[in-house]
Amino acid sequence: MNANELKLLSPVNVGPLSLSHRVVLAPMTRLRSEADDSPSAMMVAYYRQRASAGGLLITESAHPSYDSRGYIGAPGIYTDAHVEAWKQITDAVHASGGRIFMQIAHDGRQSHVDLSWGNAPVAPSVVPYETTVLTQDGWVPNSPHRALELHEIPAIVESFRRAAERAKEAGFDGVELHNANGYLADTFLQDGTNTRTDAYGGTVAKRARFSLEVVDAFASVWGADRVGVRVSPSGRWGAISDSNPQATFGYFADRLNTYGLAYLHVIEPRVMGTETLEEGAEPVASSFLRQHFFGPIIAAGGFTREGAESILQRGDADLVAFGRWFSSNPDLPERFRHGHPLTPYRRDAFWGGNESDYIDFKTYDEELQAQVVAESCTSNE
């Protein structure tokens, strides 16, 4: 298909923002923050490289408090120093004409006592779970978690609200609640991890209460049209599960639809090519949620250009977020526009490291220039 005919490269509005294309940088944890959880100079370069005029970037998840971390090296948004460091990123993105939302997440039970002053990770309920998390001693098993007491929950919601305030001070264009991948908000929502019998558990309305309180907190700072929410209805990351995901996520999307949010960000089962899903994956989630949420939907899940165009043409999504391919192709929208080949991503550099395979990827034009220089040097030998 001619690039001029691609819906992927056509304008779209997200809340009050007018975007020139629908290619979104997906939030992708890279674990390259400073020791105090401030964004590093590497991160400034990373987001600057991927900013484009009228394009939307969503940051890797930032933590609203010291004890909400699950991985050392992930950024925070709970101190004034963090605000100042994030300002360098928002300034760099805006200088390129881009827009940027901050994703905010509490990692919940996916954590370790060494990351929270020796305190056990928290969750809505105690449901045995094993994974590995990154501490100063490297990748280690997560610590056993404990169930939050009822009186503790308002303080966590307040930490999200304050984080949203700090994100605004740092110059972001909006915020996104990470309500996916088995982190704290997601574990409240789904009944496989929420076995509470109080005001935050039992019925789907009660299980959705925590997330909706955070959305309310975000909206009180930003206005709802600058707030997004990310969900993973088909996800299994973090040993997450629900006995009736259609009922749970249908209800949740219905409630979110009343806010006038900037968008709903939906993680699909990973898409291979245009339509084929990985073995064992469930049918795509966006088409179901479209029946409940009528604002902009961002789909994410390993899309190619063709797969992204397909879901947009079907009307199941309005924008498509790319993580892996954006990691190795800082000019991804332009590569899609011109049909240029994509540089392979480096999976072993995703979670931590240095500048290598992080900010040393070239644009397509830079690759051509480097090739010309190399050929010139060879011919002169």
Strand, coil or helix: 248: helix
Instruction: Inform me whether the pLDDT recorded for 381 exceeds 80.
Output: no
Condensed to tens digits (0 to 9), the pLDDT of residues 56-67 reads 999 999 999 999
Whether 188 contacts 108, CB under 8 Å: no
| CA nearest neighbour of 23 among 98, 92, 96 | 98
Q: What confidence score (pLDDT) does residue 380 get? A: 61
Condensed to tens digits (0 to 9), the pLDDT of residues 65-124 reads 999 999 999 999 999 999 999 999 999 999 999 999 999 999 999 999 999 999 999 999
Q: What confidence score (pLDDT) does residue 378 get? A: 61
Structure tokens at 109: 């039970």
Distance of CA 257 to the CA centre of its chain: 20
Which residues have a Cβ under 8 Å from the Cβ of 161 and sit 6 or more positions away?
A: 214, 217, 218, 220, 221
Q: What confidence score (pLDDT) does residue 379 get? A: 60
Condensed to tens digits (0 to 9), the pLDDT of residues 345-363 reads 999 999 999 999 999 999 9
Whole-structure pTM value: 0.93
State yes or no: is 183 an active-site residue. Answer: yes
Give the lowest-confidence range in 130-134, 196-200, 251-255.
130-134
Q: What is the mean pLDDT of the chain?
A: 92
| Helix (H) or strand (E) segment spanning residue 375 | helix 364-379
Whether 261 contacts 295, CB under 8 Å: yes
Whose tokens are 């999200």? That residue is: 160
Active-site pick, 71, 129, 183, 259: 183
Q: With both helix axes pointing from N to C terminus, report the angle between 209-222 and 153-169 in degrees, rounded to the nearest 10.
A: 30
d(C-alpha 270, C-alpha 62), whole Å: 24
